[in-house]
Chain A
Amino acid sequence: MASASPAGLIKNKTAVAGIGQTAFGKGLPDTELSLACQAVSIALDDAGVDPSEVDGVASYTMEPNREVDVARSVGLGDITWFSQVGYGGGAGCGVVGQAAMAVATGQCNVAVAWRARKRADPTSRPWAQAARRLTDTQQWSRPFGVIRPVDEIALLTRRYMHEYGGTRDHLANIALAFRKHAARNPASTMGHKPMTRDDYMNARWISEPLCLYDNCLETDGALAVVVVSAERARDLKQPPAFVHAFAQGLPPQHQTMTNYFTDDPLRGPAWTAAKRMWELADVTPADVKVAQLYDAFSPLIILSLEGYGFCERGEGGPFTDDGNIEWPNGRLPVNTSGGGMSEAYVHGFNLVLEGVRQIRGTSTAGVAGADVSLVTSGEGVPTSAIIFTRDT
């Protein structure tokens, strides 16, 4: 069916064949560049591919480490394709998907994509480094104390609660589910700290209606993936996670993070990415066995559940009730490694690796029969999403 459309051009043509990650933590001694190189190196070893074979590189525009520096340290080969994707947490699936496009179209044969950052130091947070005189769209929000990403998303959250009756209990469902998942994941930074609903309800406010536990972590660490053709992936060490469908999303009139000015501010980039992605895919939301949804803030889960079509608008909150997003028995286990809120916050790239582990069957909260695994990047910013499949 898709063969008549350019839509089918990259479907199942590539796979993630290698994944690698460093330790996650606060105050890791290594530099960001060292962390990036270690993650890429581990991913190449995981795939069983020599660094000299790497001829494509994808990274976030916010990545502090340049391609040239990573390539020179890891010993990458002649690179014939390199690209970056913008908008912070919206870029995670974007860099992997664009790498898949580059491999599928022959611009390169072996692409690596990574994200490395040291964010545990409070002075490293972008909002704390704001220029005093604002020339971009921040001039319409920051002079009024809407300074941090949490403030920006809290304004949308309050409106959502007003329009649809969402509650803090829904947000707590999300925080508690991810903490439970993290408890199974030895790589997570918060798995050793159980959370109760009382802990959530009694946590200090950060930006009402959002409390401390509605926020992602701040983490040092790095992760990387290796993308090759589907044929090559079948011959490598690991079970391939095929890139079945990929899309980015930037809707009309969208303003990143402070999207208060459109006719329908609660219909964000997820809807745009989802529409194209499902058009490109042979599967539907009902086929998705497990999802990694970008969780810089808990309300983004609710918006993403709606945007990617797992429920109707306004039903994302109730969707989280009754353990529906929890492993192992939930209708759709979400963020099975603990996600950005309880595993590590590395701009959503850890979600990509967990999506791959679900296909491989190596997640610490593996969903039985997970043959279709969704990963999404940041809602509230120009975004991206990928469907990984076990079979082609």
Chain B
Amino acid sequence: MESGWLLPDLDDPTTQEFWAGCARGELLVQVCGDCDERRMPPRPMCPRCRSTAVRWEPTSGRGRVWSFIVAHPPLLPAFAAVAPYNAIVVELDDDPSIRFVGNLVARAEGEINEIDPATILIDEPVRVVFHQIEDVALPRWVRA
């Protein structure tokens, strides 16, 4: 069913492993196959050693809020329907150099407007959950 949500192309060779991990309930990070450098967002070459070898490793799925916004209209219709909603940037506990954009939600199945924005704090601890839209499992975050 068409949701009107903006979603990733699941067939992009550089990123499809990440989204496949989400579908299995795993938050993965791309790691250099030669020098073990972690990198987010994924890319085809290691900026440290220039290797094109990659592997994917699970993360703890735990982190802290690095920043957040509360978006109000005008927005695309699917997003306007749940506005105002929050969006956050999370930095991982196990590697603060790895950050993800996401949303703070009350539960995996919930909407992105269920947390009172006035209660969101930078540095508050969160853990990943996955929310299904069409054929994509989006990583979102609940309070840890």
Measuring CB to CB, which residues of chain A are less than 8 angstroms from any residue of chain B? 122, 127-128, 130, 132-135, 137-148, 151, 154-156, 158-159, 162, 204-209, 252-253, 255, 258, 260-261, 263
Is the beta-carbon distance between A145 and B103 smaller than 8 angstroms?
yes
Contacts of A137 in B (CB 8 A): 41
Is the beta-carbon distance between B66 and A260 smaller than 8 angstroms?
yes
11 contacts between A and B (CB under 8 A): A134-B7, A140-B41, A143-B136, A144-B102, A145-B85, A155-B67, A155-B69, A208-B69, A208-B117, A253-B47, A261-B40
Is the beta-carbon distance between A155 and B41 smaller than 8 angstroms?
no
Least CB separation from B72: chain A residue: A205
Is the beta-carbon distance between B72 and A207 smaller than 8 angstroms?
yes
Bound-state CA distance A163–B98 (Å) is 19
Q: Do A155 and B12 contact each other (CB < 8 Å), given the known contacts A132-B7, A142-B6, A205-B84? A: no
Is the beta-carbon distance between A133 and B122 smaller than 8 angstroms?
no
Contacts of A253 in B (CB 8 A): 47
Bound-state CA distance A155–B140 (Å) is 16
Q: Is B27 an interface residue (CB 8 A)?
A: no
Bound-state CA distance A143–B102 (Å) is 8
Is the beta-carbon distance between A162 and B67 smaller than 8 angstroms?
yes
Q: Is B142 an interface residue (CB 8 A)?
A: no
Is the beta-carbon distance between B122 and A143 smaller than 8 angstroms?
no
Is the beta-carbon distance between A144 and B101 smaller than 8 angstroms?
yes
Q: Is B45 an interface residue (CB 8 A)?
A: no
Chain B interface size range? 35 or more
Q: Is B56 an interface residue (CB 8 A)?
A: no
Is the beta-carbon distance between A206 and B47 smaller than 8 angstroms?
no
Contact residue among B6, B67, B76 (Cβ-Cβ distance under 8 Å from A156): B67
B101-144 at interface with A (beta carbon < 8 Å): 101-103, 112, 117, 122, 133, 136, 138, 140
Least CB separation from A155: chain B residue: B67
Q: Do A206 and B72 contact each other (CB < 8 Å), given the known contacts A134-B7, A143-B136? A: yes
Is the beta-carbon distance between B79 and A145 smaller than 8 angstroms?
yes
Is the beta-carbon distance between B76 and A147 smaller than 8 angstroms?
yes
Q: Is B32 an interface residue (CB 8 A)?
A: no
Please provide the 5 A-B residue pairs with the shortest distance between their CB atoms, ordered closest to farther: A139-B8, A208-B70, A159-B67, A142-B6, A133-B9
Contact residue among A134, A146, A154, A205 (Cβ-Cβ distance under 8 Å from B8): A134
Contacts of B103 in A (CB 8 A): 144-145
Is the beta-carbon distance between B89 and A260 smaller than 8 angstroms?
yes
Is the beta-carbon distance between A139 and B71 smaller than 8 angstroms?
no
Bound-state CA distance A263–B136 (Å) is 29
Contacts of B138 in A (CB 8 A): 143-144
Is the beta-carbon distance between B136 and A145 smaller than 8 angstroms?
no
